[in-house]
């Protein structure tokens, strides 16, 4: 079980042979690497499932390998065009998940140098088309771990600044807290060669372009997003997990964040958020044990608006009324009013 979805294993991956499984997307959500938050967002699981399926199907038409096999209805994996109703269960091919060894407060990735295929690559890749307020880039620029020149800028950026070309960022995937690293460290810890890294970057840019086009059709700006990969049994890159959703991406509408960033905005400045930030600075694998406070549930009005947002986004992506909610623009106007009242 993950913080936002559960996995049912039908056939385990072994050696070079892929497994088969089903992701069951829940209404749970997570922010700031905390894991499951104290309340749920109604309808989120089905909406995330349908949005991700939309992009998997579109990318496969472009020749990109993915682990997607369909949405389960009547016990059978179907393409979205064959469904009667939206579903929360996605059938996928499974690769092995190999964990780096924990050595005190450090991680040993040497196991990946001996592996050839059928495993999850221990990286998350982010594309960034702009730098919205709240982007982790600003924190890294402030602490000196990132320099303006690293992202093609002459000076410090302003929140909301557009980038002339997409920035590709990379972080660890299998550590207790995601850690941004440079591409040379990413190559080293994953056991990938230069050509494989370049191919991964090429695919991410193609994904960015597709998501930007679809978001633009909905009146949204594609600010940034994350993508995950595995190697199949023949060591070809395969797209895994989910993509193009309001959990994996950050969109904006007339300056309003359109993603789970809305929940982050609510929690920023709370005692719980301050405690998590201080705990993470300790650099410990088990940083959560240092956090003595707990997050409160979302206010009901905000939770309802976020629920409608996920569902309206899935509707308009598919050009199909999967969910009985108002149009996306109407939902966004409601969220603007709700946040303005805080």
CA distance 157 to 251: 19
* pLDDT exceeds cutoff 70 at 2: no
Our measurement of the distance from residue 44's CA atom to the centroid of its chain's CA atoms, rounded to an integer in Å, reads 14
Q: In which band, very low, low, confident or very high, does the pLDDT at 335 lie, cut at 50, 70 and 90? A: confident
* Predicted pLDDT at 82: 98
Across 122-126, average pLDDT: 97
CA distance 319 to 70: 18
Q: Considering its fold, how many domains does the chain have in total?
A: 1
Q: Is the dihedral of CA 22, 26, 32, 36 positive or negative?
A: negative
| DSSP letter for each residue of 130-196 | EE-TT-HHHHHHHHTSS-GGGGT-SSPPPTTEEEEEEEEEEEESSSSS--EE-HHHHHHHHT--HHH
Share of the chain above pLDDT 90, in %: 77
Which residues does residue 101 pair with via DSSP β-bridges, in sequence order?
108
CA distance 197 to 36: 32
Q: Is the dihedral of CA 332, 334, 340, 342 positive or negative?
A: negative
* Predicted pLDDT at 332: 92
- Write down the residue that tokens 């780096």 correspond to: 100
The Cβ-side half-sphere exposure at 106, using a 13 Å CA radius, reads 5
The CATH number for 145's domain is 3.30.470.20
- CA distances to 5, 45, 71, 72, 307 from 24, in Å: 5, 8, 10, 10, 18
pLDDT, tens digit, for every residue of 67-83? 999 999 999 999 999 99
* Predicted pLDDT at 17: 96
pLDDT, tens digit, for every residue of 296-328? 999 998 999 999 999 999 999 999 999 999 999
* Structural domain containing residue 44: 5-340
């Amino acid at each position: 079980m993950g913080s936002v979805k559960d996995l049912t294993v039908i056939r385990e991956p072994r050696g070079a042979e892929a497994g088969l499984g089903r992701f069951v997307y829940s209404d749970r959500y997570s922010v700031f690497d905390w894991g499951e938050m104290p309340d749920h967002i109604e309808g989120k699981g089905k909406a995330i499932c349908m949005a991700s399926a939309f992009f998997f199907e579109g990318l496969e038409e472009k020749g990109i390998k993915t682990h997607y096999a369909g949405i389960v209805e009547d016990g059978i994996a179907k393409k979205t065009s064959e469904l009667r109703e939206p579903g929360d269960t996605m059938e996928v091919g499974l690769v092995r998940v190999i964990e780096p060894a924990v050595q005190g407060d450090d991680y040993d990735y040497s196991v990946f140098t001996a592996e050839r295929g059928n495993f999850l690559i221990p990286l998350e890749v982010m594309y960034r088309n702009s730098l919205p307020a709240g982007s982790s880039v600003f924190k890294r620029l402030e602490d000196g771990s990132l320099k303006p020149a690293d992202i093609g800028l002459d000076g410090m950026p302003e929140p909301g600044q557009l980038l002339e070309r997409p920035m590709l960022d990379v972080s660890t995937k299998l550590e207790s807290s995601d850690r941004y690293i440079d591409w040379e460290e990413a190559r080293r810890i994953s056991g990938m060669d230069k050509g494989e890294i370049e191919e991964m970057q090429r695919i991410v840019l193609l994904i960015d372009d597709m998501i930007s086009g679809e978001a633009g059709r909905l009146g949204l700006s594609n600010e940034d997003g994350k993508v995950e990969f595995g190697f199949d049994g023949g060591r070809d890159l395969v797209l895994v997990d989910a993509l193009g959703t309001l959990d994996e991406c950050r969109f904006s509408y007339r300056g309003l964040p359109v993603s789970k960033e809305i929940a982050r905005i609510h929690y920023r400045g709370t005692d719980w958020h301050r405690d998590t930030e201080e705990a993470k600075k300790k650099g410990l694998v088990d940083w959560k044990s240092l956090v003595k406070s707990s997050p409160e549930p979302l206010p009901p009005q905000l939770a309802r608006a976020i629920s409608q947002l996920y569902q309206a986004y899935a509707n308009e992506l598919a050009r199909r009324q999967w969910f009985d909610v108002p149009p996306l623009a109407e939902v966004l106007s409601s969220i603007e009013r709700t946040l303005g009242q805080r």
